[in-house]
């Protein structure tokens, strides 16, 4: 994975949001080497997982996160000062430069998003057979449920996971867990092949102006979305993202 990138800048228009797409590493020796380089508390957390893939996801995520932050903070990955934030997720302390980041994993993929000053959320979901209609009754807004019901059979999985990843990415960017805000009181564009956007958020007149959503093409039968805080002074247009999938150097 390439760590090279400009250091922090004051103008949010010139520092793109970056996304790294990493395949799950199952080489036990490589995972063990990365784990040994993590702080003791993160090593202990990885050791508590019963399933090797779950431990590997944590090790991969923390290794990648520490590398990209260390390159920007000009310190070693182990010295990156991560502290528990809201919902127990890692954040940089207030005195650090305002890099914002978010992680997500599903199946064989892990995504890491990094932004300067702007809050970000990311979600990836490998498609799987679920009771889509029943879950939509619990987690979707009325217009999202209607779009799912109208989707042809071949499009139902794509529609369900498009809505799910867009909603979860937005919640994560806003610092909210799945149970922290009623899921039927905000809505996103539900059609998977239409540009994603925030349609409605309770109590806000123009939620789409404050947040941008981006669908990320990963692999077939996998949906992913990036949610980015939008500053009024920014130029319109798509934000840049990068797809990098190599951690083979093992550093």
pTM over 0.85: yes
- The answer to whether 31 touches 59, Cβ cutoff 8 Å, is yes
Of 14-28, 39-53, 223-237, which one has max mean pLDDT? 39-53
Task: Say which CATH number the domain at 203 has.
Answer: 3.90.470.20
pLDDT band at 237 (very low <50, low <70, confident <90, very high): very low
Indicate whether 159 belongs to any domain. yes
CA-wise closest residue to 196 among 205, 208, 185, 184: 208
What is the mean pLDDT of the segment spanning 128-157?
Answer: 96
- pLDDT number for residue 251: 36
Indicate whether 223 belongs to any domain. yes
Indicate whether 214 belongs to any domain. yes
What is the mean pLDDT of the segment spanning 76-82?
Answer: 95
Q: Is residue 3 pLDDT above 80, yes or no? A: no
Indicate whether 242 belongs to any domain. no
pLDDT digits (tens, 9 = 90+) for 164-205: 999 999 999 999 887 778 999 999 999 999 999 999 999 888
Q: Is residue 8 pLDDT above 80, yes or no? A: no
Enclosing domain of residue 125: 18-229
Least confident of 33-37, 186-190, 233-237: 233-237
Q: Is residue 88 pLDDT above 90, yes or no? A: no
As a whole number, the mean pLDDT across the chain is 88
Indicate whether 118 belongs to any domain. yes
- The answer to whether 92 touches 81, Cβ cutoff 8 Å, is yes
Q: Is residue 103 pLDDT above 90, yes or no? A: yes
Indicate whether 161 belongs to any domain. yes
- pLDDT number for residue 31: 96
Q: Is residue 249 pLDDT above 60, yes or no? A: no
Indicate whether 243 belongs to any domain. no
Number of domains into which the chain is organized: 1
Q: Is residue 63 pLDDT above 70, yes or no? A: yes
β-sheet bridge partners, residue 225: 123, 215
Indicate whether 154 belongs to any domain. yes
Count, residues in the chain: 251
pLDDT band at 2 (very low <50, low <70, confident <90, very high): very low
- pLDDT number for residue 244: 52
């Amino acid at each position: 994975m390439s760590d090279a990138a400009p250091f922090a800048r004051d103008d949010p228009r010139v520092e793109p949001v970056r996304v790294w797409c990493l395949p799950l590493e199952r080489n036990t020796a490589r995972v063990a080497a990365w784990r040994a380089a993590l702080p003791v508390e993160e090593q202990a957390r990885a050791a508590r997982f019963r399933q090797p893939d779950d431990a590997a996801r944590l090790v991969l995520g923390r290794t990648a996160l520490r590398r990209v932050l260390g390159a920007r903070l000009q310190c070693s990955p182990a010295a990156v000062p991560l502290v528990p934030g809201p919902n127990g997720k890692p954040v940089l302390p207030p005195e650090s430069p305002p890099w914002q980041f978010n992680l997500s994993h599903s199946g064989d993929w892990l995504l890491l998003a990094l932004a300067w000053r702007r809050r970000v959320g990311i979600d990836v979901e490998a498609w799987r057979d679920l009771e889509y209609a029943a879950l939509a009754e619990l987690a979707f807004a009325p217009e999202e449920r209607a779009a799912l019901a109208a989707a042809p059979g071949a499009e139902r999985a794509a529609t369900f996971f498009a809505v799910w990843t867009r909603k979860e990415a937005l919640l994560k960017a806003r610092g909210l867990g799945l149970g922290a805000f009623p899921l039927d009181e905000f809505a996103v564009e539900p059609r998977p092949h239409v540009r994603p956007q925030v349609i409605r958020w309770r109590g806000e007149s123009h939620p789409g102006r404050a947040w941008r959503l981006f669908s990320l093409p990963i692999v077939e039968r996998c949906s992913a979305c990036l949610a980015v805080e939008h500053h009024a002074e920014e130029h319109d247009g798509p934000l840049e993202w990068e797809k990098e999938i190599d951690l083979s150097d093992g550093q």
